[in-house]
Chains A and B, each alone.
Chain A
Amino acid sequence: MNILVPVRKVPDTTAKIAFTPDGKSFDANGVQFVMNPTDEWYALVRAIELKESLGGKITLINVGDADNDQIIRKGLAIGGDDAVRIEGDARDAHFCAKAISAYAKDNAFDLIITGKEAIDDNGFQLASMISEYMDWPLISQATRLDVEGDIFHLSREIEGGHEDIEVSKPLVVSASKGMAEQRIPNMRGIMMARSKPLNVIQAEDASVASEVAKYALPPEKGDVKLIDADNIDELITLLKNEAKAI
């Protein structure tokens, strides 16, 4: 089983979000970056578990500049075999998906698996675009992925429940909570990651489908109105007349 795992660099979940004064770019000053949690905890770890039981190889792929090598090395330390970084700006999903698919088409993968969403982009879009460029089926927001011969068995979230699915390989999967448990890289993994191959390639098609004209922060939230625990009726009145929520 040869598996390609797209991983993204994102601001840490606790990072304070700020933008440059012109509103055009993210202000990375003082921000800690990490591997996108759903890529790492669910997609990569499940890929490693499948490799451990079936053999094969796991390739990590990332779009970005050399600053991203740190999180790619972490993925190699957790259990990736080799890695590819595509030089470029990861903000446009069309660009990323096209570049990743172009690489995947030149290499024989059975499975491409990534997190359901990036916590900075929140677009739920990369896996889906890759699947279209590959012309492969997609199972998105999957909570389970097992393999039996050439057949994948999956569960995916639907409104108010879940579905069990069968589909033959090759396949693109976006992973949700439930698929695997987070793994912490050990010292041996970290040492080995240093010598694993990390190839840098250029994207053939540099076009983007969208740009961000401007980023903005939400308006400050007003102060909370505190209500005495012995005066619940006041809350009911506020919810009814002020918030118009009931």
Chain B
Amino acid sequence: MNVLVYLDSADGRVKKPVYEAISYAKKLAQSAGGQVHGLVLGASDEADLKSLGKYGLDVAHHVDDARFSSFDSRAYSMAIGRFIEANPCAHVVFSFNHRGMALAPRVAARLDLTYVPGAMALPAEDGTVVRGVNSGKAFAHVKANKSGMVLAVMSNAAGLLDESAEASLASFDPGLSDDAFLVKVVKVEKMEGTIPLTEADRVVSAGRGLKGPENWGMIEELADTLSAATACSRPVSDVGWRPHHEHVGQTGITVRPNLYFAIGISGAIQHLAGVNQSRTIVVINTDPEAPFFKAADYGIVGDAFDVVPKLNAALRTHFAA
């Protein structure tokens, strides 16, 4: 029983969250004595693909077709469908990132498989897969009614394998005609030199306690020291102090970093819903009654304008040592 992993890529390199998906697929396949096949659509790099053997990939199939340079979930779903026709796989694994979220449900609908979004672990002995629901306030143990599953996996769902193997390479042609490609990307804007919030291991987030957008310099400096992404609370993005894409919470984006700093954020339940799956939470707030302290691992009751520069200096000393 083989397992397929979609190898999401950007600028010809497979994205980091996919490594976890590969290791997840390997553990799924191993339990049934199968292999892990990966499919990359569009530009790829041979050495990069071979190196994925380290995480458990057996064969990397590359589709060298420039028409895949614009992400079009319909064309991508067709290509994955054609691949499965030629190379039967019981399950298909994605990473639960932007493209995975768009593409995996399509593939599940196309192949008539059960879809499990945001899988947090491998299937349990009874076959159920656990995932977060109600914005991190609960878990659902999902039972599949179909013969196979499409799983979009979260970080830390299976742990990264570290094998001394190289993936073998194969090329694949899904044979799509031009009318399969309908979406045209006309412009890509990426913020250079910053870490994408959804991929960050560490996040430094700030709220109204900062008093104004002109005070974000110390937040950015702290983020820089920690190699962290910056984020903010909803009121701050609503008044335009920070861009919408930094808004973390129930109606913004959900993050799950190893370390989350909340500075001058009271911790409304809607904000907590977007961060409560972080591994370690540190809260800095002047108000000892701020609800965020109840969700925190470590807290400092104090003024951000006093604490943050001291914290930054101490961290710099720590990282320099």
User: B residues touching A (Cβ–Cβ < 8 Å)?
Assistant: 10, 15, 70-74, 77, 97-98, 101-110, 112-118, 126, 128, 132-146, 182-191, 194-199, 202, 226, 237, 244-245, 247, 250-252, 254, 258-259, 269-270, 273, 276, 279-280, 282-283, 293-303, 306-307, 310-311, 314-315, 318-319
Q: Which interface residue of A14, A143, A177, A207 has the most chain B CB atoms within 10 A?
A: A177
The digit string for A85-128, where 1 denotes a CB below 8 A from any CB of B, is: 00000000110010000000000000000000001111111101
Q: Contact: B194 with A160, CB < 8 Å?
A: yes
Query: Apart from A164-B186, A166-B184, what are 14 other A-B pairs with CB-CB below 8 Å?
Result: A94-B108, A119-B273, A123-B105, A132-B106, A137-B183, A163-B185, A177-B252, A210-B116, A215-B138, A217-B138, A224-B296, A238-B298, A243-B279, A246-B319
Query: With A212-B140, A212-B142, A213-B126 in contact, is A160–B196 under 8 Å at CB?
Result: yes
Within 8 A of B (CB), among A172-186: 177-178
Q: Contact: B109 with A211, CB < 8 Å?
A: no
Q: Contact: A122 with B315, CB < 8 Å?
A: no
Query: With A235-B300, A246-B315 in contact, is A17–B139 under 8 Å at CB?
Result: no
User: CA of A246 to CA of B201 in the docked complex: distance in angstroms?
Assistant: 10
Partner of A243, one of B185, B187, B276, B297: B297
Partner of A137, one of B73, B191, B280, B310: B73
Counting residue pairs across A and B whose Cβ atoms lie within 8 Å, the total is: 268
A33 within 8 A of B: no
Q: Contact: B137 with A211, CB < 8 Å?
A: no
A240 within 8 A of B: yes
Query: With A209-B114, A212-B141, A215-B138 in contact, is A129–B300 under 8 Å at CB?
Result: no
Min CB distance B9 to A, Å, is 12
Q: Which 4 A-B pairs have the closest CB atoms?
A: A160-B196, A229-B302, A161-B190, A128-B105
Partner of B98, one of A122, A123, A141: A141
Partner of B138, one of A94, A138, A164, A216: A216
Cβ–Cβ < 8 Å partners of B106 in chain A? 128-129, 131-132, 138
User: CA of A158 to CA of B102 in the docked complex: distance in angstroms?
Assistant: 11
Cβ–Cβ < 8 Å partners of B146 in chain A? 209
Q: Contact: A129 with B144, CB < 8 Å?
A: no
Min CB distance B284 to A, Å, is 8
Partner of A235, one of B109, B145, B282: B282
B contact patch SS? mixed
User: CA of A37 to CA of B252 in the docked complex: distance in angstroms?
Assistant: 10
Q: Contact: B250 with A235, CB < 8 Å?
A: no
Query: With A129-B109, A132-B109, A239-B282 in contact, is A167–B182 under 8 Å at CB?
Result: yes
A236 within 8 A of B: yes
Cβ–Cβ < 8 Å partners of B102 in chain A? 124, 128, 138, 140-141
Provide a sorted-by-A list of 16 A–B residue pairs whose CB atoms are within 8 angstroms: A13-B251, A14-B269, A37-B251, A97-B109, A123-B117, A126-B105, A128-B102, A132-B105, A159-B198, A162-B188, A163-B185, A167-B182, A177-B237, A215-B138, A229-B302, A232-B311
Min CB distance A86 to B, Å, is 17
Cβ–Cβ < 8 Å partners of B303 in chain A? 229
Min CB distance B151 to A, Å, is 12
User: CA of A214 to CA of B182 in the docked complex: distance in angstroms?
Assistant: 41
Q: Contact: B254 with A122, CB < 8 Å?
A: yes
A188 within 8 A of B: no
Q: Contact: A239 with B280, CB < 8 Å?
A: yes
Q: Contact: A216 with B244, CB < 8 Å?
A: no
Q: Contact: B101 with A141, CB < 8 Å?
A: yes
Query: With A160-B194, A161-B189, A209-B146 in contact, is A246–B259 under 8 Å at CB?
Result: yes
Smallest Cβ-Cβ distance to B245: which chain A residue: A157
Q: Contact: A17 with B138, CB < 8 Å?
A: yes
Min CB distance A54 to B, Å, is 21
User: CA of A13 to CA of B269 in the docked complex: distance in angstroms?
Assistant: 8
Smallest Cβ-Cβ distance to A126: which chain B residue: B105
Q: Contact: B74 with A135, CB < 8 Å?
A: yes
User: CA of A129 to CA of B77 in the docked complex: distance in angstroms?
Assistant: 11
Min CB distance A94 to B, Å, is 7
User: CA of A70 to CA of B237 in the docked complex: distance in angstroms?
Assistant: 31
Query: With A213-B143, A216-B139, A224-B298 in contact, is A177–B244 under 8 Å at CB?
Result: yes
Query: With A14-B269, A227-B299, A239-B259 in contact, is A94–B109 under 8 Å at CB?
Result: yes
Min CB distance A153 to B, Å, is 8
Query: With A128-B103, A132-B110 in contact, is A138–B74 under 8 Å at CB?
Result: yes
